[in-house]
Chains A and B, each alone.
Chain A
């Protein structure tokens, strides 16, 4: 071993063993120090903020006409105090019958751009790559691989409510 030749007799096995022990000790305590700092830091970084799904009221039942699709905006389930306008979410809400609604995520299933509703054409169109969806959310043309994601929606005490959901990610 090279360090034996620096100081101390090379044939002194006790000295050699002592140095090997000290080397290993230093590397070990250094590694442990690194690990005990890294574990909480990395765990915090990797930990995703899970939020409960809550029903958000988006309007009164009579605000929505049967057969029309309108944009509704609502707040995330538990916005952070500094979220500002980013806490808002939009959805396309369609009243099918007196009691039945469909709510679509505005995110195109291709790459997540916000799709727009063309009321006269009865189509959703994505401004990014021209993905088109029919009024029921199925793909009409273009690159989207899946129909528009739907949010659960319900009618409660004369109000329309949407269940907040994570951003849909097409995998």
Chain B
């Protein structure tokens, strides 16, 4: 014991560590009372980031960032017992970071903690939010399976919509003319060096600001921020009723951080990492790339907006979001902090959360995507094994109708459900639609023979609740 004390005293005397570490740990923070558990989100994000560094280094020690080999090294990592778990932790950790930084931003927004003097805390936080999203995207891509590969192509195509420099920017993302050998290395460097370096910088700045300006006190109605008097008022508040950060506030950070990390590890062990898809071979065209869950809402929004607005939304949407987030603390830097005096703050948060949840769900279902792997309609649904109805069902399949139109639970949902098409439309109406097409349906004019058409109409008119005899024009064999 005396030895340890001697070494510590020697170390402390020549470094002066205790001179700044102890005051830093013990610095007074406002007594948060009932709001105390709201203050654990930022630290939890930081703890999970450390988890990502540890597991990321472990993965990087076996991952080969080569376009031809990355996929195989990931399969190798996943095949080992602990590699499987480490990949799972890294994957669930990524999700946790996106969720936690999002809730943390919402908490800071609702508490008005971005107001004077903490505007730069908000701005560095916005930078961190987008850097974390950048990590999420590049991370999905480093999986370098088929979806990872096509994600690069889709990202390049989206960047291509930028005015003037689109073509150059798209090929810059690919690191050349095509997605290939040079592309993956670029995203590996982004994911492992460039973005983490920026994250380190902004976390350091963010934490420095937290210590310099103090942790915001829970907002109270009727206690608006006045930049002229706030610092003195906050100083008096700490003097009056402050508690030392360590351990009075920090224990909650420790406990919540532990729970989050325990949940991540448990999910990694029980659920495991995301399954690797097909290899990143561009000549295997049976691919249906989908983003990971954090970008599903954006995927859905881009898929559902009117077509003319697409170029504007792809470029202006994120730009406007960034500008609004930057302007917020610069414009609304004083006044009431309590969300009960800023009811629109609740409204905005509710709107954003609802949009992300709703469009995330829609993006998961992706009704706009044809179901090209839908199984053929079984005979029980067709209701005939020979004759015009059966032949029409084959036409329905062969012409690709089924990929977009559902019948009795089979097929896609891009177009209307045709389970009871015979009840809703006459054969003439069907024929018109098949010949003329629609904005989202190709015209089959010149692409279908008379025989195929009459079989198809026989099949479609037989799709009904009531017996086929109800419509006089029906050519159904039922």
- What is the interface of chain A, defined by CB distance below 8 A to chain B? 46, 48-51, 71, 73, 76, 79-90, 106-107, 110-116, 118, 120-123, 125-130, 132, 134, 140-143, 165-167, 169-171
Contacts and interface: CB of A to CB of B under 8 A. Distances in A.
A127 B177 contact: no
A130 B402 CA distance: 12
B166 A171 contact: yes
Given A50-B176, A84-B67, 4 more contacts: A112-B153, A120-B398, A129-B303, A140-B442
A130 B154 contact: no
Name, among A79, A81, A143, A167, the residue most crowded by chain B CB atoms within 10 Å (CB to CB).
Answer: A167
Contact of A169 (B156, B280, B439): B156
B283 A49 contact: no
Interface stretch (B1-9, B35-43, B76-84, B367-375): B367-375
Given A51-B177, A82-B67, A127-B372, A88 B283 contact: yes
A125 B403 contact: yes
Contacts of B323: none
B380 interface: no
A14 to B, nearest CB: 37
A117 to B, nearest CB: 9
Interface SS, A side: loop
Interface string B43-68: 00000000000000000000000111
Interface string B83-116: 0000000000000000000000000000000000
A127 to B, nearest CB: 4
Given A121-B398, A127-B370, A169-B166, A90 B158 contact: no
Contacts of B440: 130, 141-142
B156 A86 contact: no
B408 interface: no
Interface in B362-394: 368-370, 372
A147 B447 CA distance: 18
| Contact-residue size bin, chain B (C-beta under 8 Å from the other chain) | 35 or more
A170 B180 contact: no
Contacts of B370: 125-127, 130
Interface string B131-158: 0000000000000000001100110111
B166 to A, nearest CB: 4
B127 to A, nearest CB: 21
Contacts of B182: 49, 80
Interface string B240-251: 000000000000
7 nearest A-B residue pairs (beta carbon): A84-B68, A80-B181, A140-B442, A120-B398, A49-B176, A83-B181, A166-B177
B68 A86 contact: yes
Nearest to B184: A86
Contacts of A111: 154, 157-158
Given A127-B288, A130-B368, A143-B310, A171 B161 contact: yes
B468 to A, nearest CB: 26
A127 B447 contact: no
A132 B442 contact: yes
Interface of B: 66-69, 149-150, 153-154, 156-158, 160-161, 166-168, 170-172, 174-184, 279-289, 303, 307, 310, 368-370, 372, 398-400, 403-404, 414, 437-443, 447
Contacts of A85: 68, 279-283
A86 B174 contact: no
Contacts of B172: 46, 48
Interface centre among B181, B369, B440 (most CB of A within 10 A): B181
A123 B400 contact: yes
A130 B369 contact: yes
A114 B150 contact: yes
A127 B369 contact: yes
A84 B303 CA distance: 33
A101 to B, nearest CB: 18
Contacts of A171: 160-161, 166-167, 170
Nearest to A120: B398
A149 to B, nearest CB: 12
Given A132-B442, A141-B437, A141-B440, A120 B399 contact: yes
A114 B166 contact: no
